[in-house]
Structure 1
């Protein structure tokens, strides 16, 4: 009787194991999707916030470097080559951004559309050199194939870089500083970088593309 019960239990366990494994894999996939961008495979905004929280916990007394990257005039790429090829360009550029961040011991994310960000530990005081690395590598040509025809696409980026304490609110302070610096890079000709300095202010809204979702969300939180 006991032997029969043990055999039945073992067989039942063997039968359930594939189901348990499938459920575990689905949970892993769902967790990955919550923190990653499906086009580039990079972290998304939520994933970058989680990375910042981890970094702040591990090095609460250390500053961090935040980089905000906005591709210049990306819309013509989609208009000329289609959104699928545009996604290929975003994936290629995102890979370069992620590689630079990884070499610096940090993390990178696609925030939305053609906007990316990187979070880096402080390894050097030369923020301009880091920012220029992003500008230079992003501007390298991307080779694509459209309708069987090889095509080379080149995009540039405006990059803002800022230093913040790891305990500062990420979106309200760290990313905001990088955002201000990025718009200064846009204002001074694009395909370049700007380093945030105390006293820097956001350019007049009329010179920008209009408030983005992040700007509206922060405004709503401030008035709530």
Structure 2
């Protein structure tokens, strides 16, 4: 009996480090699944998970959904290479993350040069928040290219929308912010627009094409 108990105890001591290691690996895998490898920000999966937690909170209320699309980012990659382009994305992502955090929210890189933020709807006006994003994103980013310092300036079109935490993030909240963002881009870029009920997409000729999420879901709106 004693021998059996000792064997069981020793077996448990041997197994515990393996279980601990497996748990750590699972945690790391989940973290990688929810974070963007370039900027370290939440990715789309992580943003969806974070939004889901908002609906479970006792103090859940309206949120501000911010969609940020960098203007004419492709020339940065064409001129300085994709590695330097990733540095610019990381620097801008840090700014977006800091602004979101300042307002008690979260931020994510959705894909390419598109970012998003979810902020609690508090006393700060949408226009003021949007102007902060537009202004700080347009601050120059210093890079080292070919051994020399280079200043790169990128602007952004920002769309904002109010939504309830119970609204589906993709189909409603981000969709509204997407429409507003395209109005900002349509009206000259480096500015923001706020979604209003009944607002539709601007003329298709000024759009870059359907987003990835547009291809993944049916829509009754015109895309091009």
Structure 2 partner of 1:183 = 182
8 Å contact kept, 1:35–1:46: yes
8 Å contact kept, 1:60–1:167: no
Structure 1 partner of 2:57 = 58
In structure 2, C-alpha distance between the alignment counterparts of 1:20 and 1:61, rounded to whole Å: 36
In structure 1, C-alpha distance between the alignment counterparts of 2:165 and 2:150, rounded to whole Å: 42
Higher mean displacement: 60-69 or 202-211: 60-69
8 Å contact kept, 1:160–1:179: yes
Structure 1 partner of 2:36 = 37
Runs of 4+ in 1 over 6 A off after TM superposition: none
8 Å contact kept, 1:59–1:166: no
Gaps of 5+ in 1: none
Say which SS state the counterpart of residue 210 (structure 2) adopts: coil
Once the two structures are TM-superposed, the CA of residue 199 in structure 1 deviates from its matched residue by: 2.3
In structure 1, C-alpha distance between the alignment counterparts of 2:123 and 2:53, rounded to whole Å: 21
Structure 2 partner of 1:159 = 158
In structure 2, C-alpha distance between the alignment counterparts of 1:100 and 1:39, rounded to whole Å: 19
Structure 1 partner of 2:70 = 71
Structure 2 partner of 1:113 = 112
8 Å contact kept, 1:60–1:166: no
Structure 2 partner of 1:82 = 81
Structure 2 partner of 1:216 = 215
Once the two structures are TM-superposed, the CA of residue 6 in structure 1 deviates from its matched residue by: 5.3
Q: Against the structure 1 CA distance between its residues 129 and 149, is the aligned structure 2 distance closer, same or farther, given a 3 Å change threshold? A: same
Q: Against the structure 1 CA distance between its residues 104 and 10, is the aligned structure 2 distance closer, same or farther, given a 3 Å change threshold? A: same
Once the two structures are TM-superposed, the CA of residue 212 in structure 1 deviates from its matched residue by: 1.6
Structure 1 partner of 2:94 = 95
In structure 1, C-alpha distance between the alignment counterparts of 2:6 and 2:158, rounded to whole Å: 64
Say which SS state the counterpart of residue 217 (structure 2) adopts: helix
Q: Against the structure 1 CA distance between its residues 188 and 220, is the aligned structure 2 distance closer, same or farther, given a 3 Å change threshold? A: closer
Aligned length, in residue pairs: 221
Structure 2 partner of 1:173 = 172
Say which SS state the counterpart of residue 218 (structure 1) adopts: coil
In structure 1, C-alpha distance between the alignment counterparts of 2:169 and 2:58, rounded to whole Å: 14
CA RMSD of aligned residues (A): 2.1
Higher mean displacement: 211-220 or 22-31: 211-220
8 Å contact kept, 2:54–2:60: no
Once the two structures are TM-superposed, the CA of residue 17 in structure 1 deviates from its matched residue by: 3.7
Matches within 5 A, 1:191-202: 191-202=190-201
Q: Against the structure 1 CA distance between its residues 78 and 16, is the aligned structure 2 distance closer, same or farther, given a 3 Å change threshold? A: same
Give the TM-score taking structure 2 as reference length.
Answer: 0.90
Offset from partner CA, 1:175-217 (integer Å, 9 cap, x none): 1111111111101111111111222210122221111211121
Q: Against the structure 1 CA distance between its residues 16 and 210, is the aligned structure 2 distance closer, same or farther, given a 3 Å change threshold? A: same
Once the two structures are TM-superposed, the CA of residue 148 in structure 1 deviates from its matched residue by: 2.7
In structure 1, C-alpha distance between the alignment counterparts of 2:6 and 2:166, rounded to whole Å: 56
